[in-house]
Amino acid sequence: MGNIDKGMIGKKLNEFEFPVERGKVKEFASAICDPNPVYQDKEYARNRGFEDVIAPVTFPITSGFHLSSDNFVLDTALELGMDPGKSVHGTFEVIYQRPMCAGETLRGEMVIGDIYEKEGKRGGMMTMVEMTNNFYDEEDSLVVTLKNVFIERS
Amino acid sequence: MADEQLYFEDVQGNEELSPFAITITRTHIVKYAGASGDFFPIHHDEEFAKSVGLPSVFAMGLMHGGMLTRMVTDWAGDGRVKRYKIRFATMVWPGDTLTFKGKVVKKYQEECENLVDCELSIVNQNGENAITGNATVSLPLKQ
């Protein structure tokens, strides 16, 4: 533990545009083996009351394509003082206010959440680092929040 | 792909969601790398994986973590998920057969919404958890 900079709690890291694209939604749905037409067929989605195809639940993870660099998350972890060799992805959480639809462009904000220590199940301390992405629509309403917790073992 | 909408009144307190199984291949992993943008070489470059002491590449947790969402959305209907949280446990290797499971654990009303909490898991062929998680869905009432 020790080396992780708690002064970074609450720091806004990046703001970026996240276009929700129909082709990307279809590709992602196929990669998670989900044949639901609501992810592929605009007419089907419209008949169900959506503006366009909607995005699968974990689709916001693809927002990484729109960050300023390919290694943004790794670089951030290093900037925080984390040791990538001792760190793992602990949890992933997504919280929806409404489904995301193809055709909209969301504004993403990436923020460092809480940083705290916790005792590991097999003894030893672990440091938990939360990284949060909030996505807002054109009306500036929150659509979805994505939270990742990375764990560094001491 | 729920053809008939599930209503809150119809949910049973300890209902099990329909399980399914997928045997993971390298093709699944490569396809998910391209779709998600996760190009960490440990997931697609066999030589790199071996050079850091692993037996082979292994899957990104969010790959099977993404496959798991179908269990909830096929049951609850499209666009019904409020919250989905997964914890990553044991690693998933090419050739692993994963069983995706879920059950209802709580049914309640809060702030004019009809919510159902489900407990989810992905278990490998050795009975080890690859992922444990939970989801909350918001369902309509019949009237």
Chain A residue with minimal CA distance to B21? A33
Residue that has been written with the tokens 């729920």 in this structure: B2
Whether residue A92 and residue B61 make contact (CB cut-off 8 A), yes or no, is yes
Residue A150: what pLDDT?
Answer: 92
Residue A2: what pLDDT?
Answer: 59
Chain A nearest CA to B12, separation (Å): 24
Q: What is the mean pLDDT of chain B?
A: 95
Asked if A88 reaches chain B (Cβ–Cβ under 8 Å), the answer is: yes
Task: Write out chain A residues lying below 8 Å of B61, CB-based.
Answer: 89, 92
Q: What are the extents of the domains in chain A? A: 6-20+55-153
Q: Which residues pair with B85 in a beta bridge?
A: A93, B134
Asked if A64 reaches chain B (Cβ–Cβ under 8 Å), the answer is: yes
Distances (CA, A) of A80 to A2, A12, B32: 11, 13, 28
Q: Strand runs (DSSP E) across chain A, as ranges? A: 12-19, 87-96, 105-119, 125-136, 142-153
For A10, left (φ over 0), alpha (ψ -120 to 50), or beta?
left
Of A24, A91, A99, the CB nearest to B87: A91
- Tokens for A11, please give them: 């720091």
Domain at B8-24+60-139, CATH from 3.40.50.880, 3.40.50.2000, 1.10.579.10, 3.10.129.10:
3.10.129.10
Residue A72: what pLDDT?
Answer: 79
Residue A35 one-letter amino acid = P
pLDDT one digit per residue (tens) for chain A, 154 residues: 457 888 889 888 889 999 999 999 999 999 999 999 999 999 999 999 999 999 999 999 999 888 877 777 778 888 888 887 888 889 999 999 999 999 999 999 999 999 999 988 778 889 999 999 999 999 999 999 999 999 998 7
User: Quick one: what percent of chain B has pLDDT higher than 70?
Assistant: 98
Q: What is the pTM of this model?
A: 0.94
Whether residue A90 and residue B73 make contact (CB cut-off 8 A), yes or no, is no
Q: Are the C-beta atoms of residues B55 and B42 closer than 8 Å to each other?
A: no
Distance between start and end Cα atoms, chain A: 5
- Tokens for A147, please give them: 């939270």
* Positions in chain B short of pLDDT 50: 1
Residue B79: what pLDDT?
Answer: 96
The DSSP symbol for A80 reads T
DSSP states of B89-126 as a string?
Answer: -S---TTPEEEEEEEEEEEEEETTEEEEEEEEEEE-TT
Of A27, A37, A57, the CB nearest to B35: A27
Pick among A16, A33, A69 to test the B interface (most B CBs inside 10 A): A33
Class of domain A6-20+55-153: alpha beta
CA distance A54 to A25: 8
Q: What are the extents of the domains in chain B? A: 8-24+60-139
